[in-house]
Amino acid sequence: MTFKFHKTRPVVTGVVASFAMLPAIHAHAGGTITFGEDKSVSIGFGMRTSYSSIENGAPNGTSRSNDFNLDSARIYLSGSISKNIKGMLNTEKDIAGEGFQAIDANVQIEITPEFAIWAGRFLSPSDRANMAGPYYSLGGGYWSGIASRYGYNGGYIGRDDGVAAVGTLLDGKLSYSFGAFEGNTAFKIAPVAGLVTGRTGSDGLMYAGRLQYDFWDAEPGYYGTGNYLGSKDILAIGIAGRTQANGAYSALKTGDYKSYSVDFLLEKKGVGPGAISIEAAGYDYDTDDVFMSEQGKAYSAGLGYIFSKKVGWGQFQPFVRYQKFNPDDNIDTKKYDVGLNYIIDGYNTQVSSVYSNTKVTGKPDTNAFMITLQAQF
């Protein structure tokens, strides 16, 4: 048995990379213990911590809040027992911040270079924003439950228990993922107020799938990236959907759950002194009228520009984002973000500052300012 400590990818992406060679911007320092040919265990961790000031957010209801918070703390573990069999175990601090829970625990079996089977707990196929998550998105923390709402029927931060076929075709330009999952794991992993824990209909599985085509540079890998920080030329369109019979239920009613989405990403290097990125997505959620507040259409869009030249330790990336959810209960939510990232080492080390304005039907606007530090080791 030998011990080697060197540069390796974070576990969430590192295991995927063994099948599909994820981009280098996911690399960061970590430790790997090797036990022989194609046998190893790697470890890493990541965290996101922030300061926020929210209008009327103080306990008196009229003053601005001033709070520090540990938004995320993850431990990454991955391993391989052969060239074709690998696995990962990733944890996240629980909602109360009192412990950790498994968000990823799975095995990946590579049948061919273009086809692999994933089994266990992992992100079920969905939109780009959810597949990228808060650590690999423009401005970070993009998974905010406004447009990309898969936490309702996809477990804690979109995770679920199941099995999926994952792979690429056409020289990596076309990526696919299709699987069957437990569904409704939001109740077991991250309980939602007002929802019941016992199903009242048939015990059907949730079926989910995603297709994506890259017209320019290919984006190999299952867990995705929301922004490549000027390292790639990307023109990609993705579609995703999920359905579950009797997947939406309350104490009074049971209905089917369906959701569909389409997403778009354009990134181009060499535009002036840097690279530009444009992203957009549209969503349609249907709970069979069980939860009118979770049923409706949603939209999101983002624009970013990263300067190639470093200033001090890193690069500046200003960005703007827009999200809207128009549910069938007619209580709309809109959110506008204007921010500035300071990219020190890709997604391994960066600082983000963002001003947000949130509008909810029938309520006063909420203005907030947040500074977030992200680090992955």
**Could you tell me the CATH number of the domain that includes residue 125?**
2.40.160.10
Residues contacting residue 23 through CB under 8 Å, at least 6 positions apart: 219, 221, 225, 228, 231, 232
What's the domain count of the chain?
Answer: 1
What CA–CA distance (Å, rounded) separates 321 from 303? 7
Q: Residue 44: pLDDT above 60?
A: yes
| Cα–Cα distance measured from residue 262 to residue 8, given in angstroms and rounded to the nearest whole number | 32
Domain carrying residue 187: 2-376
Q: What is the pLDDT of residue 201?
A: 60
How far is residue 120's CA from residue 44's CA, in Å, rounded to a whole number? 20
Query: Confidence class of residue 252 from pLDDT cuts 50, 70 and 90?
Result: confident
- Banded pLDDT at 209 (limits 50, 70, 90): very high
Nearest CA-CA partner of 80 in 122, 123, 33, 117? 33
Helix or strand or coil: residue 48? strand
Report residue 153's pLDDT band, with 50, 70 and 90 as the boundaries: low
Q: What is the mean pLDDT of residues 310-339?
A: 97
Tokens of 156: 């804690």
Contact 186, 192 (CB under 8 A): yes
Angstrom distance (rounded) from CA 210 to CA 125: 5
- Kindly give the pairing relationship between strand 333-345 and strand 349-360: antiparallel
* Average pLDDT score over residue span 285-313: 95
Give which of 115, 146, 153 is closest to 240, Cα–Cα: 153
* pLDDT of 96: 67
pLDDT mean over 177-202: 63
Please state, for a pLDDT cut of 90, what percent of the chain lies above it.
69
For the chain, the average pLDDT equals 86
**pLDDT surpassing 80 at residue 185:** no
Distances (CA, A) of 377 to 9, 97, 103, 188: 9, 21, 18, 30
- Confidence (pLDDT) at 4: 38
Q: Give the pairing of strands 28-36 and 2-8.
A: antiparallel
In this predicted structure, what is the pLDDT of residue 31? 80
Q: Measured between alpha carbons, how far apart are the two ends of the chain, in Å?
A: 23
- The mean per-residue pLDDT over the stretch 147-161 comes to 74
pLDDT, position 287: 92
Kindly provide the b/e burial profile for residues 94-109, where b requires at least 16 CB atoms within 10 angstroms of the residue's own CB.
Answer: eeeeeeeebbbbbbbe
Residue 233 has pLDDT above 80, yes or no: yes
Name the pLDDT band for 186 (thresholds 50, 70, 90): low
pLDDT at 189 over 90: no
Confidence of residue 67 (pLDDT cuts 50, 70, 90): very high
128 pLDDT above the threshold of 80? yes
Contact 353, 338 (CB under 8 A): no
List the beta strands (DSSP E) in the chain: 2-8, 28-36, 39-54, 67-80, 85-93, 100-112, 115-123, 159-169, 174-181, 206-214, 234-249, 254-271, 274-286, 296-307, 315-327, 333-345, 349-360, 366-376
CA distance readout (Å), 230 to 292, 309, 316, 334: 40, 11, 11, 28
Cα–Cα distance between 153 and 131 in angstroms, integer? Answer: 15
